[in-house]
Amino acid sequence: MLGSIGMPELIIIFVIALIIFGPRKLPELGRSLGKSIAEFKKASNELKSTLEEEIRLEEQRSSIEAAKPAAPPAAPAVAPHAEPIVERGAGHSA
């Protein structure tokens, strides 16, 4: 949007602002606009760096999780009171 504004358009905007606000108020408005833009850039850069840091930490966590060895499978649980099963052969009679 701002890329389509050329020098003639900027001059017209400046003249209109000069008429509306006057020559004494215009420099003050320019300074406050500049400060606002600088604060916005600072806040957006801070947000960007915070997001990049969080992404880096999450990647480190996932690589640590991937590097951990898998837990060995658990042995089947046997009840301590279970009696052994004894099979009788075909040649034995009861």
Share of the chain above pLDDT 90, in %: 36
Cβ neighbours of 65 (radius 10 Å): 8
Cβ neighbours of 66 (radius 10 Å): 7
Is the CB of residue 18 less than 8 Å from the CB of residue 26?
A: yes
Is the pLDDT reported for residue 80 higher than 80? no
Residue 86 identity: V
pLDDT band at 29 (very low <50, low <70, confident <90, very high): confident
Q: Is the full-model pTM beyond 0.75?
A: no
pLDDT of residue 85: 66
For residue range 17-27, list pLDDT tens digits in order. 889 888 888 88
Is the CB of residue 69 less than 8 Å from the CB of residue 63?
A: no
For residue range 37-66, list pLDDT tens digits in order. 999 999 999 999 999 999 999 999 999 888
